[in-house]
Structure 1
Amino acid sequence: MIEDMLRTPAAVQDSERHTAHNYHPLPVVITSAEGAWVTDVDGNRYLDCLAGYSALNFGHRHPTLVAAAHAQLDKLTLTSRAFIHDQFADFCRELAALCGKDLVLPMNTGAEAVETGIKVARKWGYQVKGVPAGQANIVVAEGNFHGRTTTIVSFSTDADARADFGPYTPGFRVVPYGDLAALGEAVDEHTVGVLLEPIQGEQGVVVPPEGYLPGVRRLCTERDVLFIADEIQSGLGRTGSTFACEQEGVVPDMYLLGKALGGGIVPVSAVAADADVLGVLKPGQHGSTFGGNPLACAVATEVVRLLATGEFQRRSAALGERLHAGLRGLIGKGLVAVRGRGLWAGLDIDPALMSGREACERLMARGVLAKDTHGSTIRLAPPLVITEEEIDHAVAQLAAVLAG
Structure 2
Amino acid sequence: MNDRLHATAAPHPAIELERRWGADNYHPLPVVLTRGEGVWLWDSAGRRYLDMMSAYSAVSFGHGHPALVAALVEQAGRLAVTSRAFHSDRLGPFLERLCMLTGMDRALPMNSGAEAVETALKAARKWGYKVKGIAAGRARIVVAAGNFAGRTTTIVGFSSEAQYRDGFGPFAPGFDTVPFGDAAALEAAIGDDTCAVLLEPIQGEAGIVVPPPGYLRAAREICTRRGVLLICDEIQTGLGRTGRRLALDHEGVVPDGLTLGKALGGGLLPVSAFLARADVMAQFTPGDHGSTFGGNPLAAAVGLAALDVMEREGLAERAAASGERLMAGLRALAHPAVREVRGRGLLVGVELAPDFASARVVCEALMAEGVLTKDTHGTVVRLAPPLVIAPAQIDFAVAAFASALRACGG
Give the TM-score normalised by structure 2: 0.97
Helix, strand or coil at the partner of 2:136? coil
Give the corresponding residue for 2:119: 116
Alignment of 1:298-309 (within 5 A): 298-309=301-312
Q: Distance in 2 between matches of 1:230 and 1:136?
A: 20
| Equivalent in 69, 72, 81 of residue 75 of structure 2 | 72
Q: Is the contact made by 2:206 and 2:377 (CA closer than 8 Å) also made in structure 1?
A: yes
Q: Is the contact made by 2:369 and 2:403 (CA closer than 8 Å) also made in structure 1?
A: no
Give the corresponding residue for 2:176: 173
Q: Is the contact made by 1:347 and 1:378 (CA closer than 8 Å) also made in structure 2?
A: yes
- Tell me the alpha carbon deviations over residues 287-341 of structure 1, each in whole angstroms, 9 at most, x when there is no partner: 0000000100000001111233360011001111100101111344421111100
Q: Is the contact made by 1:31 and 1:41 (CA closer than 8 Å) also made in structure 2?
A: yes
Distance of aligned partners of 1:127 and 1:331 in 2 relative to their CA distance in 1, 3 Å threshold = farther
Report the Cα offset of residue 200 of structure 1: 0.1
| Equivalent in 11, 14, 18 of residue 15 of structure 1 | 18
Q: Distance in 2 between matches of 1:110 and 1:202?
A: 14
Give the corresponding residue for 2:90: 87
Give the corresponding residue for 2:274: 271
Task: Letter of the 1:64 partner, please give it.
Answer: A
Helix, strand or coil at the partner of 2:232? strand
Give the corresponding residue for 1:238: 241
Report the Cα offset of residue 399 of structure 1: 0.5
Report the Cα offset of residue 351 of structure 1: 2.4
Q: Distance in 2 between matches of 1:203 and 1:214?
A: 21
Task: Letter of the 2:107 partner, please give it.
Answer: V
Helix, strand or coil at the partner of 2:319? helix
Aligned residues: 404
- Tell me the alpha carbon deviations over residues 191-215 of structure 1, each in whole angstroms, 9 at most, x when there is no partner: 0110000000000110001111100
Helix, strand or coil at the partner of 1:340? strand
- Tell me the alpha carbon deviations over residues 31-59 of structure 1, each in whole angstroms, 9 at most, x when there is no partner: 11000000011111110000000000000
Q: Distance in 1 between matches of 2:258 and 2:312?
A: 20
Runs of 4+, deviation exceeding 3 Å: 1-8
| Equivalent in 396, 401, 405 of residue 393 of structure 1 | 396
Task: Letter of the 2:301 partner, please give it.
Answer: A
Alignment of 1:321-336 (within 5 A): 321-336=324-339
Q: Distance in 2 between matches of 1:332 and 1:217?
A: 38
Alignment of 1:205-244 (within 5 A): 205-244=208-247
Task: Letter of the 1:114 partner, please give it.
Answer: V
Task: Letter of the 1:104 partner, please give it.
Answer: A
Q: Is the contact made by 1:334 and 1:403 (CA closer than 8 Å) also made in structure 2?
A: no
Q: Is the contact made by 1:333 and 1:403 (CA closer than 8 Å) also made in structure 2?
A: no
Find out whether 1:366 has 2:369 as its counterpart: yes
Distance of aligned partners of 1:349 and 1:2 in 2 relative to their CA distance in 1, 3 Å threshold = farther
Identity over aligned pairs, percent: 56
Task: Letter of the 1:26 partner, please give it.
Answer: L
Find out whether 1:102 has 2:108 as its counterpart: no
- Tell me the alpha carbon deviations over residues 68-120 of structure 1, each in whole angstroms, 9 at most, x when there is no partner: 00000110001100000110110011101011111110000000000000000
Q: Is the contact made by 1:76 and 1:294 (CA closer than 8 Å) also made in structure 2?
A: yes
Q: Distance in 1 between matches of 2:179 and 2:369?
A: 38
Give the corresponding residue for 2:254: 251
Helix, strand or coil at the partner of 2:126? helix
Q: Distance in 2 between matches of 1:48 and 1:3?
A: 17
Give the corresponding residue for 1:138: 141
Comparing 302-311 and 352-361, the one that deviates more:
302-311
Q: Is the contact made by 2:208 and 2:343 (CA closer than 8 Å) also made in structure 1?
A: yes
Give the TM-score normalised by structure 1: 0.98
CA RMSD of aligned residues (A): 1.1
Helix, strand or coil at the partner of 2:104? coil
Alignment of 1:155-166 (within 5 A): 155-166=158-169
Q: Distance in 2 between matches of 1:339 and 1:4?
A: 29
Q: Distance in 1 between matches of 2:334 and 2:222?
A: 36
Q: Distance in 2 between matches of 1:393 and 1:18?
A: 37
Alignment of 1:304-323 (within 5 A): 304-309=307-312, 311-323=314-326
Q: Distance in 2 between matches of 1:242 and 1:278?
A: 22
Find out whether 1:47 has 2:56 as its counterpart: no
Give the corresponding residue for 2:59: 56
Q: Is the contact made by 2:38 and 2:62 (CA closer than 8 Å) also made in structure 1?
A: yes
Report the Cα offset of residue 152 of structure 1: 0.2
